[in-house]
A and B are shown apart, each in its own frame.
Chain A
């Protein structure tokens, strides 16, 4: 019976003891697949994945560069804008200064002109007053002589009449001066 058991165990292949063809074919199968994997699959897979990673990284990098460029342009525009604003403010200030200066000049000119006109007018008035005074003196003298001649009924000769007129006028002037002095 023991012999029969042993014989049966030997006939059915053991679960744990490998058989030579099994090992040979299994190894062959493994090697064939390994060759394909080494030769084709891994290089292709790595190439494809690397290319994709490159593409994604390149895309990201390009986007970053574009963003940096846009940022730079924005900063440039902003600085230009600020410069333009500063220039405009400068121009405005300048214009205000100019206007003030021009106005001051005009006022000064006008004042000078007014002063000149006033001076010349005063001079003219003075001249006319002098002229009037001289002619008045002559006419007043003549009228006074005529009047006096009428009153006393005879004509005064020239020499005397002139003396009288002169004396009268001198008295008149002296009394005026005294009155002015008293007023002062």
Chain B
């Protein structure tokens, strides 16, 4: 829990200070800040949802991105070493928010017709339509939040496990095997190198998963807002 509070404090400071003095001609810091926020704003949100709807859902999607990114990055920060998202709580919250968001978007635009549009494909015979409606129900309303949650969770858990494995093995090889006089302990060099490589990989995965969950949420909203199939 402390890790999360720390992340929240850091995020708030970053976002607050970064957006404090936005000038027409950006300074270096502002350019860097704008690069990140502008990436989320333009590439993820507006690129998927368009200008008008993008602006409506901008704040919450941006929050999803930055909270996920921050919590993911704690997995590789020395002293923290565990991702806030490698416990099911946060991924579940993100998934529920995304789920609520796209259903809200669809219902807001189409009312009750949204569920009919989402489930029933026009122009099919009733049996096929019923069959496909069950599939759509499964994929849209049941599997989507589960996959959103589990994708993020398992990526982070797996990354954490890999790092733990590598560094625990290094520790074991150096301080137990090598210290016991066995040259096999030099294998620890290899496991340490793998640990470094996976740390870099985790950095990448942290950013990637934040991107993935945000753009998926945006895409789900876009599909809910789209006209009938």
Q: Do A49 and B38 touch across chains, with their CB atoms under 8 A apart?
A: yes
Q: Do A26 and B15 touch across chains, with their CB atoms under 8 A apart?
A: no
**CA of A21 to CA of B59, assembled, Å:** 25
Given contacts A33-B11, A42-B58, contact A26 B97 (CB under 8 A): no
Residues of A within 8 A of B93 (CB): 23, 26-27, 30
- Interface size for A (C-beta < 8 A) is 31
Q: Do A25 and B4 touch across chains, with their CB atoms under 8 A apart?
A: yes
Within 8 A of B (CB), among A5-47: 15-19, 21-23, 25-27, 29-30, 32-34, 36-38, 40-42, 44-47
Taken residue by residue from 65 to 106, chain B's Cβ proximity to chain A (1 for < 8 Å, 0 otherwise) reads as 011001100000000000010011110111001000000000
Residues of A within 8 A of B89 (CB): 18-19, 22-23, 25-26
Residues of A within 8 A of B66 (CB): 33, 37
Q: How many A-B residue pairs have CB under 8 A?
A: 101
Q: Do A46 and B55 touch across chains, with their CB atoms under 8 A apart?
A: yes
**CA of A55 to CA of B22, assembled, Å:** 14
Q: Do B15 and A33 touch across chains, with their CB atoms under 8 A apart?
A: yes
**CA of A16 to CA of B86, assembled, Å:** 11
Q: Does A138 contact B (CB under 8 A)?
A: no
Most buried by A among B16, B58, B92, B93: B93
* Interface residues of B, dominant DSSP: helix
Contact of A41 among B8, B19, B90, B157 (CB under 8 A): B19
**CA of A27 to CA of B5, assembled, Å:** 11
Q: Do B19 and A44 touch across chains, with their CB atoms under 8 A apart?
A: yes
Given contacts A34-B60, A37-B59, contact A22 B24 (CB under 8 A): no
| A–B complex contacts, Cβ < 8 Å, 26 sampled | A17-B88, A18-B89, A19-B89, A23-B92, A25-B4, A25-B89, A29-B5, A29-B71, A29-B84, A32-B12, A33-B63, A33-B67, A37-B59, A37-B60, A41-B16, A41-B18, A41-B37, A41-B62, A44-B20, A44-B22, A45-B19, A45-B22, A45-B37, A45-B38, A47-B22, A49-B38
8 smallest beta-carbon distances between A and B, as pairs: A22-B89, A48-B22, A44-B19, A34-B63, A38-B59, A26-B89, A26-B90, A29-B8
